[in-house]
A = this chain, B = another copy of it.
Amino acid sequence: MSKNILDLALIPGDGIGPEVTAEALKVLKAAIGEDNVKTTEYGLGAEHWLETGETLTDETLDAIRGHQAILFGAVGAAPNDTRIPSGLLEREILLKLRFTFDHAVNFRPSVLYPGTTSPLANPGNIDFVVFREGTEGLYVGNGGSMRTGTKHEVANETSVNTAYGVERVVRAAFEYAQGRERKHVTLLHKHNVLVHAGHLWNRIVNEVGQEFPEVTHDYLHVDAAMIFLTTDPGRFDVILTDNMFGDIVTDLAAAVTGGIGLAASGNLNINGTAPSMYEPVHGSAPDIAGQQKADPTAAILSAAILLEQEGYADAALRVNKAVWEDLAVRDNTTRTTQEVGDAIAAAV
């Protein structure tokens, strides 16, 4: 049986993006064999924008669309780089990819790995996954302002939620929960204030929930979730929430599991119309870029999610195992980005 070649688009991006992506690719190749991976690199980000004035053209989007999956590093200029409008690269590259390629589910696991230090005194056993909706909510760019720049300015931002968009991430969360031991979904929202959106989310969770009798589900206001995530994060199994709440909650989840340096994610197109995209949750960290100081673990774990989702479950398991083992023996000696990648690749 001839094995298909895994055809990847690589978007290393800015700052530490290229360094961590290189290690993720190294480990991925170690896991399924160098000859079984084909990569095409797309040089998007701050430099490309400064040279060309382009963020991500339709032609480039079309080219990327032809690949099976995308391995993404990070985009974003240094905060003090006044040449680049704040947020431009994030919106016109990262968010544009998520929206154009219909990444319905932003899949973000939170695990407290052995050997990893949580800022919590008693973190307990943390092992949950956040299903963050990826194409709706406050992220749709449906805002505007009037009398801009005056003392009579009004600036609005509209969160748009559709039954179609909510239903698919809800269903994905229940399906995933069904395969887990605890089989429990927790919806986070703020339905006492956001009545209409909250009502929609509640309704769909109740409807879809009935199709999964083995899966239990409950509801928490997003503010109350802050308290549980710091006092008893072990209670969560699968967290389901909208785009903005998901953004906030997954950073807290990353923090309590030892930091953003380990948080991986998959932006999943779940109907096969475009490639999914795998990226570490951390940003471009321009302050430590190019110094081999960045921890490539989040990028490597993102490559493991890629393998899992793209049909290489065995290889994904091996990468995860290698990461667990590497984390367990990490001490305070600092290794370079490359050394971490080498060690994990060797163990795979």
Contacts and interface: CB of A to CB of B under 8 A. Distances in A.
15 contacts: A87-B193, A87-B198, A119-B121, A119-B230, A143-B194, A148-B199, A155-B199, A156-B158, A157-B196, A158-B159, A159-B159, A193-B247, A227-B260, A230-B252, A252-B252
Interface centre among A138, A230, A256 (most CB of B within 10 A): A230
A197 B244 CA distance: 14
A154 interface: yes
A118 B244 CA distance: 27
**8 A-B pairs with least C-beta separation:** A87-B192, A226-B252, A223-B251, A153-B163, A155-B200, A143-B196, A155-B196, A226-B251
Contacts of A247: 190, 193, 223
Nearest to A143: B196
Interface string A62-96: 00000000000000000000000011001100010
Contacts of A152: 162-164
B231 A119 contact: yes
A110 interface: no
A112 B149 CA distance: 39
Interface centre among A148, A157, A195, A197 (most CB of B within 10 A): A157
A53 interface: no
A138 B242 CA distance: 14
A136 to B, nearest CB: 10
A222 B222 CA distance: 14
Interface string A243-255: 0100111111011
A346 interface: no
A158 B138 CA distance: 9
A110 to B, nearest CB: 12
B151 A163 contact: yes
A interface, size bucket: 35 or more
A267 to B, nearest CB: 15
Interface in A191-212: 191-200, 203
A250 B120 CA distance: 18
A248 B260 CA distance: 20
A145 interface: yes
Nearest to A153: B163
A311 interface: no
A288 interface: no
Contacts of A213: none
A43 interface: no
A167 interface: yes
B162 A153 contact: yes
A328 interface: no
Contacts of A141: 195
A74 B280 CA distance: 41
Contacts of A252: 226-227, 230, 252
A162 B158 contact: no
